[in-house]
Amino acid sequence: MSIQALNKTHLDAMMAIEVAANQFPWSYKNMESCFSGRYFNFGFFIADELAGFYIGEVAGPDITLMDICVDHKLQGQGVGAKLMTHLLAQAEAKGAENIFLEVRASNKAAIHLYDKMGFCEMGIRKNYYPTAEGNEDAVLMGLPFNPFAKHM
């Protein structure tokens, strides 16, 4: 098991995990666009197989978790927590002041993980995510990380 930086050669594996785990997955084009300068992408590998990943974005002195996804067969086994721990280490290395994320209000398992990692609810984005019945709210969460850091 290891966490490694991802590149565009991993896109197909990332998309396979994304599509299997989400009713409304990112598009290939959206995921591909996250391999430019302000994004950083890491994957959790078991042997040589991608088991989960995250996409982070540097925005000024802050980091935004754009996407985190774990192979549906491995959810609930600590992969997400390992990826989040790695994200926090990356934020520290980059001198981030805050980390932000949005999560579906119905995704109680993810909200519980983020709570355990120290994130707190900062607001609600009404009708943000599509659903089969219309839309659902996003919970905006944040973690004040390093308020005395120099800007990245």
Angle at the Cα of 106 from the Cα atoms of 102 and 110, rounded to 5 degrees: 55
Q: What is the predicted pLDDT for the residue at 151?
A: 46
Q: What is the predicted pLDDT for the residue at 128?
A: 85
Catalytic residue among 39, 49, 114, 129: 114
Query: How many CB atoms are closer than 10 A to CB 150?
Result: 8
3-state secondary structure (DSSP) of residue 86: helix
3-state secondary structure (DSSP) of residue 146: coil
Angle at the Cα of 52 from the Cα atoms of 144 and 128, rounded to 5 degrees: 55
114 is catalytic: yes
Chain-centroid distance of CA 150 in Å reads: 24
Q: Which domains does the chain have, with CATH numbers?
A: 2-144 (3.40.630.30)
Residue stretches of the annotated binding site: 107
Taking the C-alpha atoms of residue 99 and residue 91, their distance in angstroms, rounded to an integer, is: 8
Residue 57: beta bridge partners? 39, 64
Q: What is the predicted pLDDT for the residue at 76?
A: 86
In the predicted structure, residue 146 carries a pLDDT above the cut 80: no
Catalytic residue among 57, 102, 121, 128: 102
Q: What is the predicted pLDDT for the residue at 133?
A: 86
For the stretch 9-64, pLDDT in tens is 999 999 999 999 988 899 999 999 999 889 999 999 999 999 999 999 999 999 99
Query: How many CB atoms are closer than 10 A to CB 60?
Result: 11
Q: pLDDT band at 147, cuts 50/70/90?
A: low
